[in-house]
């Protein structure tokens, strides 16, 4: 069995992060009083929600201690703001062919499918539910931006959860692969010593993703490399 860890934005779903961004900004404003979080330039691709919030806050004059003190409130306010803003139907945002890929992988019975995303878990779960992909990803598996601020820490957390499911230690590295669309997805896989397939459906072309074990240009191609 192989553990396949799917990123969400730019991988499973395309162009479905506008409301998510607004929800993060709203929570940052409420918790830390940052006046115009959207005005702070942040390279957000492949980072966790908390990591993004930290950069916005610190570059807006919030001190590190106050930032840490506000994290619990931030997580719950961001999730609530997203629940309020999330479109009722995100099915049009599913990457072309991805539903069939997930169906095939689930049917083959040789893969355990899980999420690996910088989204806070309630945000991630709601996005997938509204996109009609929720049933492919069991609760209790995967790793999220609510588990750790550093994306590089997420694959090991996901292997821990999958390993417990199988009644043992961590899921083996050699039987784990990350599927993601950014150089940070590749870096997080490398940090844990697991495999990585990059998909050039997000904001990075194949030439920026050449550190992966394989690079594909569309969801259906994943079936050949997984
Ligand atoms: Mg992504």
- In whole angstroms, what separates CA 79 from the centre of its chain? 15
Question: What is the 129 CA–ligand 1 centroid distance (Å)?
Answer: 18
For the stretch 13-44, pLDDT in tens is 998 889 999 999 999 999 999 999 999 999 98
- 75, 48, 146, 115 alpha-carbon torsion, rounded to 10°: 130
Helix (H) or strand (E) segment spanning residue 179: strand 176-180
Are the C-beta atoms of 37 and 27 separated by less than 8 Å?
no
- Say how many Å lie between the CA of residue 191 and the centre of ligand 1: 17
**What is the whole-number distance in angstroms between the Cα of residue 167 and the centre of ligand 1?**
30
Distance 204 CA to ligand 1 centre (A): 10
Asked whether the whole model's pTM tops 0.85, one would answer yes
CATH number of the structural domain 2-14+90-225: 3.40.50.1000
At 44 the pLDDT is 87
Residues 86-118: pLDDT tens digits?
A: 999 999 999 999 999 999 999 998 999 999 999
Confidence of residue 84 (pLDDT cuts 50, 70, 90): very high
């Amino acid at each position: 069995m192989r553990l396949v860890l799917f990123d969400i934005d730019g991988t499973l779903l395309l162009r479905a992060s506008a409301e998510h961004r607004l929800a993060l900004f709203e929570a940052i404003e409420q918790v830390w009083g940052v006046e115009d979080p959207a005005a702070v330039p942040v390279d957000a691709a492949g980072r966790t929600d908390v990591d993004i919030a930290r950069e916005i806050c610190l570059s807006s004059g919030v001190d590190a201690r106050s930032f840490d003190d506000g994290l619990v409130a931030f997580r719950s306010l961001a999730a609530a703001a997203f629940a309020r803003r999330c479109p009722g139907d995100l099915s049009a945002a599913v990457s072309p062919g991805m539903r069939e890929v997930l169906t095939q992988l689930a049917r083959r019975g040789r893969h355990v499918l899980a999420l690996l995303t910088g989204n806070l878990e309630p945000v991630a779960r709601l996005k997938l539910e509204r996109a009609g992909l929720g049933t492919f990803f069991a609760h209790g598996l995967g790793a999220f931006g609510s588990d750790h601020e550093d994306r590089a820490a997420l694959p090991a957390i996901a292997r821990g959860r999958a390993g417990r499911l199988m009644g043992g230690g961590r899921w083996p590295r050699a039987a784990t692969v990350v599927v993601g669309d950014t150089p940070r997805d590749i870096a997080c896989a490398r940090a844990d010593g697991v495999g990585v397939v990059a998909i050039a459906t997000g904001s990075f072309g194949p030439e920026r993703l050449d550190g992966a074990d394989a690079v594909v240009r569309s969801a259906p191609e994943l079936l050949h490399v997984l």
